[in-house]
Chains A and B, each alone.
Chain A
Amino acid sequence: MRRYNPFYFVLESLKGLKRNGVMTFASVAVLLSCLVVMGGFALMVYNINFNLEKLDALNEIVVFTEYDASIEEIDELAGQIAALDNVESTSTKYKEQILADLKEENPDLYGDVTDEENPLSASITITYKSNEGVPELDFQLRQLSGVRKIRNDLNVATTIGNLKSGIMLVFIWFLVILFVVSIFIIINTIKLSVFSRRNEIGIMRYIGATGWFITLPFIFEGIIIGTVAALGGYFLIRGAYSYVIAKVVSSIQILSFIPMADLSGLLLLAFFGIGIATGVVGSSISLGKYLKK
């Protein structure tokens, strides 16, 4: 078994990149831009979903009991509700407590109302596990005795669900298109590199070089382009994300962002993956016809 010197391949690929300096720079720049756009969009989608999930958490069903229900009856009802499938947790507020809260919030309006005159009924607030199970839960609640009224935001839940899947679909298509564009650009660069070395490739073939011996330096070229673009893209996105968070969080307090530290590992991995895959696929495609004979 003959051994090939691995430095030969790395050296040859670096020479190739240097020889087509302008095109190398262009491919790194374009791939970097694609990665930044992809990364930026991914972060946006992540954050939108993160905020939507928070809205999700606000989704609650409130069950109001009959006006004359006793504390025991209310507790029993709360117990029955807690035993239902889709129920995460329940919290009961008796009418006296609600009135006390109202008095505290607005003493002028409710200050005079005595416990005997209390027009309110007790409420049981339910946090549920999944949006999908809300209609079923709603039906189950209506079957229970002692329930006077149910308030839920089923429409909001459905809208949020639809929005999330819509955003995800757009994101995936966007990713596919940018990936294809990147591959075409890499193919062009490597093709130029192959073209400028076609004599060398011809001679290599006559001497008896195997296909992979000829291909490897070009694949390394693709990998180097991909890696440089991935690293550049990562640092650019990182800087931009921190800047945007600093600006937006201070002005729009309702929005919250996932901290960069939670995302950086995944982002770097994805960038390297996409960058290197683009490089390898691009180089292999551009060399195909030169290796047929």
Chain B
Amino acid sequence: MRMLHSLRSFERRICRLSEFLAVTSGARRLRFRTGYTFLSEKGCAPQIPIFMIEFRNVKKSYPTGTVALKGVNLHIDDGEFVFIVGQSGAGKTTLMKLLLCEEKATSGTIIVGDTNVTRITNRKIPYYRRKLGVVFQDFRLLPNKTVYENVAFAMQVVGTPNKMIRRRVPAILNTVNLADKHNSFPNEISGGEQQRVALARALANNPSVIIADEPTGNIDPQMSLEIMNLLVKINKLGKTVIVVTHEQSLVDYYKQRVIMIGDGVVAEDHVGGMFE
């Protein structure tokens, strides 16, 4: 009995230590180190977002002199669904590029999960990108690979064993309702279906965040709704979803958090649609 008591006391102490470390050094790393799940029935684990995205006064200017971002501050919690909107040239694309480590911020700090993206070394970028799933407006599928191969390719690239690929790809294709098209080539399926393949590929490595850059830009309205419904479904599975778009109707329809970028800063940030 005494032993059980001391074990519980030890567990509580570990919890407190975990809580402290999680705040100071990033929850995901801590979870890995301590093996603690944060979901103790005792409720000692705090409500700490384990994959938050944070921009602190991020500025970006290009060598040509163009100032794209003039000091962006934003915070996206783990499991949130966010629309990023703004006019052309407002800085949306630069924001995405910084998030994907395609460009380096001129100043400021970007934290994604346990990674300080502004200080990341080139060698670590691939491993960081594996935590993000990206969907592009132009799908970017490999034309010489079938639907199945396109999704499997994403897993091959990160060294997933073939056995796991064979098990996981059909399940993902099922999630995006493309199980019957696995043998088709991209040019044999519609734009909406291609975008769903791209979504399946983004999901292949089980990333924490899905970033969709104008995912409905090249497809008809009916298909757009289907893609957006899929993104909502993915969000409900616990993944953070960031959708960059300028489609007013979609943003209003889904009534999610909207971050408006204007003139290189966060112009508006509110929940419930853009133009209400």
Chain A residues near B (Cβ < 8 Å): 2-5, 8, 199-200, 202-211, 213, 292-293
- In the assembled complex, how far is the CB of residue A121 from the closest CB belonging to chain B, in whole angstroms? 83
Task: Check if B129 sits within 8 Å of A207, measured CB to CB.
Answer: yes
Q: A205 to B140, alpha carbons, bound, how many Å?
A: 12
Q: A210 to B156, alpha carbons, bound, how many Å?
A: 12
Task: Check if B102 sits within 8 Å of A204, measured CB to CB.
Answer: no
The 20 sampled A-B contact pairs (Cβ below 8 Å) are A2-B159, A2-B160, A4-B159, A5-B162, A200-B142, A203-B140, A203-B153, A206-B129, A207-B158, A207-B201, A208-B126, A208-B158, A209-B157, A209-B158, A210-B126, A211-B123, A211-B126, A213-B159, A293-B122, A293-B125
- In the assembled complex, how far is the CB of residue A32 from the closest CB belonging to chain B, in whole angstroms? 30
Chain B residues near A (Cβ < 8 Å): 100-102, 122-123, 125-130, 134, 140, 142, 153-154, 156-162, 201, 205
Q: A211 to B154, alpha carbons, bound, how many Å?
A: 15
What B residues does A199 contact at CB under 8 A?
Answer: 140, 142
Task: Check if A213 sits within 8 Å of B157, measured CB to CB.
Answer: yes
Contact partner of B161 among A3, A8, A200, A206, CB < 8 A?
Answer: A3
Task: Check if B126 sits within 8 Å of A202, measured CB to CB.
Answer: no
Q: A149 to B134, alpha carbons, bound, how many Å?
A: 94
A19's nearest neighbour on chain B, judged by CB, is B144
What A residues does B130 contact at CB under 8 A?
Answer: 207-208
Task: Check if A209 sits within 8 Å of B102, measured CB to CB.
Answer: no
What A residues does B126 contact at CB under 8 A?
Answer: 205, 208-211
Task: Check if B101 sits within 8 Å of A208, measured CB to CB.
Answer: no
Given A199-B140, A206-B134, A208-B127, do A293 and B102 touch, yes or no (CB 8 Å)? yes
Q: A210 to B130, alpha carbons, bound, how many Å?
A: 10
What A residues does B128 contact at CB under 8 A?
Answer: 208
With most chain B CB atoms within 10 A of its CB, the pick from A8, A202, A210, A211 is A210
What B residues does A293 contact at CB under 8 A?
Answer: 101-102, 122, 125
Q: A144 to B213, alpha carbons, bound, how many Å?
A: 98
- In the assembled complex, how far is the CB of residue A255 from the closest CB belonging to chain B, in whole angstroms? 57
